Amino acid sequence: MFIGQQNKQDIWNPQFYKAFSGYATILPFWQRIERQFLDHWPKVEDYNVLAAHLAMRFELQKKKSRYEWEVYHSRTILMRENCWHDFFNNLTWLMWPKLKSAIINRIYRETLNNNAKQRSPCQNLLTHFDECGMVICSDRIELFEAIKQFQWKAFFWETQDLLEHCQAVIIGHGLLEKGLTPYLGMTGKALFLQVTSDYFMLNFDEQAAYLDQQIAEMILDAQYLSSPQDLSPFPLLGWPGWWPGNECESFYENRIYFRESRSRI
C-alpha cells in the first residue's frame, strides 16, 4: 500500500526526532543544543551564535530577497522563523557548511556558463539534491552496485552486516521535513561516497566533517552531478529501524515502493 504524506502545521516540538529514526543523521548535533529551545523555536540570533565560527550569517527573509544570490554574494542564509522547512535547512548549514556552499557555488558557476534564461538540468539537479539528497557511505563497492541495480531485497535484507559496512545520511532539508510525518513512499536521491573501514570508527563529528569535505569536492567537480543519472533513488524506509515492519522479509516485496529498475521491467 502506498501512503501519501500528510501535512503538518509548523508547531514547535523540540523532540521532533521521536517521529522518525532517520533523524540519526542530525540527532547528536541537535541534542547538544536542544535544552536551549525546549519552549520556543530557535530565532535568527540563535542561529548566528551557533554559526559564529563559520563565515556566514543568518537573516530573516524579506519579500524581495533572493536566497541563492544572498548566499553566494554575501554568505547570508535567508530564513523564516517558526518554520520547519527552514529549521532543517539551517541545521544542515550548521552541520555541512562546505557541502551546502558547494551547491550554491556550483549553481552560480553553471549560471556563468549558461546564457539561457531557464535553469540548466544541472542546476535543477543540485537544487533537488539540496532538498531530497542522501549520501550512502560504504567500504564495499558492491553495495553501491546493488542500489544502482535496484536490488533492494539483496541490499536491505540479505546483507547481514549492512550496518557495519554502510551508512545512510540524510542531507536534504526537505527530506528531513518529511520525516515529521514519515510515509511509505519516502524516497531520497543518493550520492555514493566510498570510504575505508576506518571511517566507521570515527565519532559523529569526525564523520560529519569528512563527509562535508568529500561531498563538497565532489559537487564542485564538473564530472559529477551533470545528469539525473548521477543521483540514485533510495527508498530510505527500508533502512534497518527506520520504519515499523521493515524487520520482515515480506516488507521488501512491495513493488510499489521497492521498484525494479526500468531496464529489468
Contacts of residue 196, defined as CB under 8 A and 6 or more positions apart, other chains included, come to 139
DSSP secondary structure code for residue 51 in this structure:
T
Among all chains, which residue has been given the C-alpha cell 563529528?
Answer: 205
Q: What angle do CA 127, 128, 129 make, to 5 degrees?
A: 90
CA 163-167-170 angle, to 5 degrees, is 135
Mean pLDDT of the chain: 91
- pLDDT at residue 3, rounded to an integer: 40
The per-residue pLDDT for range 149-196, each reduced to its tens digit, is: 999 999 999 998 999 999 999 999 999 999 999 999 999 999 999 999
Phi, psi (5° rounding) for residue 226?
-110, -15
Helices (H), 149-257: 152, 162-165, 173-178, 204-220
pLDDT, tens digit, 9 for 90 and up, residues 68-110: 889 999 999 999 999 999 999 999 999 999 999 999 999 888 7
Task: Give 113's pLDDT tier (boundaries 50, 70, 90).
Answer: low
Among the listed residues 174, 226, 245, 217, the one whose alpha carbon sits nearest the alpha carbon of residue 5: 174
Instruction: Indicate the pLDDT class of residue 222, thresholds 50, 70 and 90.
Output: confident
